Amino acid sequence: QPIHGNYMVHNESDVDDSDAVQNFTDSFSGSSSNDCSESERVIEAEVEEREREREREREKERERESERDSERERKRERKRKRERKRARKGEKERGKREREREEK
């Protein structure tokens, strides 16, 4: 009994050869396309994971930049505070000198 495709045939004349060849190739291409789509899914998953990793890195960089901005702002605020304190001290000194001059 000859075998055509995925099934046995009792008589050669029962099956058109083109159908037999198609059935035979379909039986292989089915698994092949599954393998292909599986590997495509794996590749897509890897690409998506790399993209998520890049996004996490970008988020970390934004956080670091935000922290640097905050630190710069804190430094500027400390500097302004020192300058205001120095200015008040200078005004007190000038006032003190003026009072001393007036007393003389």
Which pLDDT score is estimated for 96?
A: 83
- 28-79 pLDDT, tens digit per residue, is 555 455 556 888 889 999 999 999 999 999 999 999 999 999 999 999 999 9
Average pLDDT over residues 67-94: 93
Distance CA 71, CA 81 (A): 15
pTM (whole model) above 0.75: no
- 12-28 pLDDT, tens digit per residue, is 555 455 666 566 656 55
Distance CA 78, CA 1 (A): 96
Q: Are 39 and 46 in contact (CB under 8 A)?
A: no
Longest dimension (CA), the chain: 137
Q: Which amino acid is at 46?
A: E
Which pLDDT score is estimated for 15?
A: 47
Which pLDDT score is estimated for 76?
A: 97
